[in-house]
Protein backbone atom coordinates (compact mmCIF):
# COMPACT_ATOMS: atom_id res chain seq x y z
CA UNK A 1 0.00 0.00 0.00
CA UNK A 2 1.39 3.41 -0.96
CA UNK A 3 1.39 6.12 1.69
CA UNK A 4 2.32 9.81 2.00
CA UNK A 5 3.44 11.18 5.36
CA UNK A 6 3.45 14.81 6.46
CA UNK A 7 5.00 15.70 9.81
CA UNK A 8 7.36 18.54 10.61
CA UNK A 9 9.06 17.02 13.64
CA UNK A 10 11.92 14.94 12.24
CA UNK A 11 11.88 12.28 14.97
CA UNK A 12 8.17 11.64 14.68
CA UNK A 13 8.32 11.66 10.87
CA UNK A 14 11.09 9.06 10.82
CA UNK A 15 9.22 7.06 13.42
CA UNK A 16 6.05 7.05 11.33
CA UNK A 17 7.98 6.10 8.19
CA UNK A 18 9.67 3.19 9.97
CA UNK A 19 6.46 2.07 11.64
CA UNK A 20 4.42 2.01 8.45
CA UNK A 21 7.25 0.41 6.41
CA UNK A 22 7.52 -2.32 9.01
CA UNK A 23 3.82 -3.02 8.45
CA UNK A 24 4.15 -3.36 4.71
CA UNK A 25 3.39 0.20 3.55
CA UNK A 26 5.44 1.80 0.80
CA UNK A 27 6.21 5.42 1.69
CA UNK A 28 6.12 7.35 -1.59
CA UNK A 29 6.73 10.74 0.02
CA UNK A 30 7.49 12.12 3.48
CA UNK A 31 7.14 15.90 3.63
CA UNK A 32 7.35 18.56 6.34
CA UNK A 33 4.98 21.32 5.22
CA UNK A 34 1.48 21.99 3.96
CA UNK A 35 2.09 23.07 0.35
CA UNK A 36 4.33 20.06 -0.41
CA UNK A 37 1.74 17.78 1.22
CA UNK A 38 -0.92 19.03 -1.18
CA UNK A 39 1.47 18.68 -4.12
CA UNK A 40 2.49 15.11 -3.24
CA UNK A 41 -1.11 14.06 -2.54
CA UNK A 42 -2.31 15.24 -5.92
CA UNK A 43 0.78 13.92 -7.76
CA UNK A 44 0.91 10.43 -6.22
CA UNK A 45 -2.75 9.83 -5.34
CA UNK A 46 -1.56 7.48 -2.57
CA UNK A 47 -3.67 4.73 -1.01
CA UNK A 48 -3.51 6.63 2.27
CA UNK A 49 -1.97 9.79 3.72
CA UNK A 50 -0.98 10.39 7.33
CA UNK A 51 -0.68 14.10 8.09
CA UNK A 52 -0.04 16.27 11.11
CA UNK A 53 -2.51 19.17 11.51
CA UNK A 54 0.03 21.80 12.49
CA UNK A 55 2.59 22.22 9.72
CA UNK A 56 4.80 24.98 8.36
CA UNK A 57 4.64 27.60 6.99
CA UNK A 58 1.79 28.98 9.13
CA UNK A 59 1.89 26.36 11.93
CA UNK A 60 -1.87 26.54 12.21
CA UNK A 61 -4.24 24.08 10.54
CA UNK A 62 -2.25 23.55 7.32
CA UNK A 63 -2.69 19.76 7.51
CA UNK A 64 -6.49 19.86 7.64
CA UNK A 65 -6.70 22.45 4.90
CA UNK A 66 -4.31 20.54 2.62
CA UNK A 67 -6.28 17.34 3.25
CA UNK A 68 -9.62 18.95 2.46
CA UNK A 69 -8.26 20.66 -0.63
CA UNK A 70 -6.68 17.44 -1.89
CA UNK A 71 -9.94 15.58 -1.35
CA UNK A 72 -11.64 18.27 -3.39
CA UNK A 73 -9.28 17.53 -6.27
CA UNK A 74 -9.12 13.76 -5.77
CA UNK A 75 -12.50 12.75 -4.30
CA UNK A 76 -12.37 10.19 -1.52
CA UNK A 77 -8.57 10.34 -1.19
CA UNK A 78 -8.01 8.58 2.17
CA UNK A 79 -6.40 10.88 4.73
CA UNK A 80 -5.63 10.24 8.38
CA UNK A 81 -5.00 13.47 10.26
CA UNK A 82 -3.00 13.45 13.48
CA UNK A 83 -3.09 16.24 16.02
CA UNK A 84 -2.02 17.24 19.52
CA UNK A 85 -5.63 18.28 20.06
CA UNK A 86 -8.87 17.01 18.67
CA UNK A 87 -11.44 19.60 17.76
CA UNK A 88 -15.00 18.72 16.80
CA UNK A 89 -14.99 21.59 14.33
CA UNK A 90 -12.15 19.97 12.37
CA UNK A 91 -13.68 16.49 12.63
CA UNK A 92 -16.87 17.91 11.19
CA UNK A 93 -15.02 19.58 8.31
CA UNK A 94 -13.17 16.38 7.45
CA UNK A 95 -16.40 14.38 7.45
CA UNK A 96 -18.38 17.04 5.61
CA UNK A 97 -18.03 15.60 2.08
CA UNK A 98 -19.57 12.31 3.27
CA UNK A 99 -17.14 10.32 1.14
CA UNK A 100 -15.46 8.39 3.97
CA UNK A 101 -11.79 7.44 3.98
CA UNK A 102 -11.15 9.92 6.78
CA UNK A 103 -9.30 9.60 10.04
CA UNK A 104 -8.75 12.07 12.86
CA UNK A 105 -6.69 10.88 15.81
CA UNK A 106 -4.71 12.26 18.69
CA UNK A 107 -0.97 11.96 18.16
CA UNK A 108 -0.50 9.79 21.22
CA UNK A 109 -2.61 7.06 19.59
CA UNK A 110 0.55 6.28 17.62
CA UNK A 111 2.00 4.77 20.83
CA UNK A 112 -0.38 1.86 20.47
CA UNK A 113 1.14 0.46 17.29
CA UNK A 114 -1.36 -2.29 16.54
CA UNK A 115 -4.38 -0.02 17.00
CA UNK A 116 -2.79 2.75 14.98
CA UNK A 117 -1.85 0.57 12.01
CA UNK A 118 -5.32 -0.91 12.09
CA UNK A 119 -6.75 2.63 11.93
CA UNK A 120 -4.51 3.52 8.96
CA UNK A 121 -5.65 0.40 7.12
CA UNK A 122 -9.27 1.15 7.90
CA UNK A 123 -8.95 4.67 6.47
CA UNK A 124 -7.09 3.32 3.41
CA UNK A 125 -10.04 0.98 2.86
CA UNK A 126 -12.45 3.92 2.74
CA UNK A 127 -13.50 3.60 6.39
CA UNK A 128 -13.29 6.14 9.19
CA UNK A 129 -11.14 6.39 12.29
CA UNK A 130 -12.42 8.98 14.73
CA UNK A 131 -10.61 9.55 17.99
CA UNK A 132 -12.48 8.26 21.05
CA UNK A 133 -12.16 11.75 22.54
CA UNK A 134 -14.11 13.30 19.65
CA UNK A 135 -16.81 10.68 20.08
CA UNK A 136 -16.91 11.06 23.85
CA UNK A 137 -17.46 14.79 23.51
CA UNK A 138 -20.13 14.28 20.87
CA UNK A 139 -21.92 11.87 23.17
CA UNK A 140 -21.83 14.04 26.31
CA UNK A 141 -23.01 17.00 24.30
CA UNK A 142 -25.76 15.03 22.57
CA UNK A 143 -27.19 13.61 25.76
CA UNK A 144 -28.84 16.87 26.77
CA UNK A 145 -30.90 17.33 23.65
CA UNK A 146 -31.29 14.00 21.87
CA UNK A 147 -32.83 10.61 22.64
CA UNK A 148 -29.38 9.16 23.41
CA UNK A 149 -30.38 8.65 27.02
CA UNK A 150 -32.75 5.93 25.89
CA UNK A 151 -29.76 3.72 25.06
CA UNK A 152 -28.61 1.13 27.58
CA UNK A 153 -25.04 1.55 28.88
CA UNK A 154 -23.91 -1.34 26.69
CA UNK A 155 -25.55 0.21 23.64
CA UNK A 156 -23.82 3.52 24.38
CA UNK A 157 -20.50 1.69 24.43
CA UNK A 158 -21.28 0.02 21.12
CA UNK A 159 -22.39 3.37 19.65
CA UNK A 160 -19.13 5.04 20.72
CA UNK A 161 -17.00 2.28 19.18
CA UNK A 162 -19.12 2.30 16.05
CA UNK A 163 -18.72 6.07 15.74
CA UNK A 164 -14.95 5.69 15.97
CA UNK A 165 -15.30 3.67 12.77
CA UNK A 166 -14.93 0.10 13.98
CA UNK A 167 -16.56 -2.89 12.31
CA UNK A 168 -18.92 -5.25 14.15
CA UNK A 169 -16.14 -7.83 14.40
CA UNK A 170 -13.75 -5.29 15.92
CA UNK A 171 -16.40 -4.10 18.38
CA UNK A 172 -17.14 -7.69 19.38
CA UNK A 173 -13.43 -8.34 19.97
CA UNK A 174 -13.07 -5.16 22.00
CA UNK A 175 -16.07 -5.82 24.23
CA UNK A 176 -15.41 -9.59 24.39
CA UNK A 177 -18.86 -10.57 23.14
CA UNK A 178 -20.07 -12.48 20.08
CA UNK A 179 -20.60 -10.87 16.67
CA UNK A 180 -24.27 -11.73 16.97
CA UNK A 181 -24.62 -9.79 20.21
CA UNK A 182 -23.07 -6.70 18.62
CA UNK A 183 -25.39 -7.00 15.63
CA UNK A 184 -28.34 -7.13 18.01
CA UNK A 185 -27.13 -4.02 19.82
CA UNK A 186 -26.58 -2.08 16.61
CA UNK A 187 -30.04 -2.96 15.32
CA UNK A 188 -31.52 -1.75 18.60
CA UNK A 189 -29.46 1.47 18.48
CA UNK A 190 -30.53 2.25 14.94
CA UNK A 191 -34.09 1.60 15.87
CA UNK A 192 -33.99 3.84 18.95
CA UNK A 193 -32.28 6.67 17.10
CA UNK A 194 -34.57 6.26 14.12
CA UNK A 195 -31.70 5.78 11.66
CA UNK A 196 -31.65 3.81 8.42
CA UNK A 197 -29.86 0.52 9.15
CA UNK A 198 -27.14 -0.47 6.68
CA UNK A 199 -24.96 -3.53 6.18
CA UNK A 200 -22.13 -1.43 4.84
CA UNK A 201 -19.88 -0.64 7.85
CA UNK A 202 -18.74 2.66 6.49
CA UNK A 203 -22.09 4.03 5.48
CA UNK A 204 -23.33 3.03 8.90
CA UNK A 205 -20.56 5.00 10.61
CA UNK A 206 -21.22 8.09 8.52
CA UNK A 207 -24.90 7.92 9.42
CA UNK A 208 -24.06 7.72 13.12
CA UNK A 209 -21.57 10.61 12.91
CA UNK A 210 -24.00 12.73 10.94
CA UNK A 211 -26.59 12.02 13.60
CA UNK A 212 -24.28 12.95 16.46
CA UNK A 213 -23.10 16.06 14.67
CA UNK A 214 -26.71 17.20 14.51
Residues of this chain that interact with other proteins (CB under 8 A) are 54, 60-61, 84-85, 87-90, 92, 108, 111, 137, 140-141, 143-145
* Beta carbon nearer to other proteins, 90 or 190: 90
- DSSP run (H or E) holding 145: none
Q: Let me know: does 117 contact 20? Beta carbons within 8 Å.
A: yes
Task: Give CA–CA dist 60/69, Å, rounded.
Answer: 16
Least separation in angstroms between CB 44 and other proteins: 26
Minimum distance from residue 162 beta carbon to other proteins (Å) = 20
Query: Between 8 and 87, whose beta carbon lies closer to other proteins?
Result: 87
CA angle 41, 126, 14 (to 5 degrees): 50
For the bound state, the minimum distance from the C-beta of residue 136 to other proteins, rounded and expressed in Å, comes to 11
Q: How far apart are CA 7 and CA 37, in angstroms?
A: 9
My answer on whether omega of the bond before 57 falls inside 30° of 0, hence cis, is yes
Distance CA 183, CA 133 (A): 24
Give the residue with the Cβ less far from other proteins, 85 or 169: 85
Measured from the CB atom, the residue of 29 and 91 that comes closer to other proteins is 91
Minimum Å gap between C-beta 114 and other proteins is: 14
Amino acid sequence: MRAVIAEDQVLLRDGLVRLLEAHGFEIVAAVDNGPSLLRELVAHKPDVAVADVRLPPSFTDEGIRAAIEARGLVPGLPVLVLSQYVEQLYARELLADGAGGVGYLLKDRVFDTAEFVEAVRRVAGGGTAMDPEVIARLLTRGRAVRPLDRLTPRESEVLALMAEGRSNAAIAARLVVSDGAVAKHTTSIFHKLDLQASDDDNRRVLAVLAYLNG
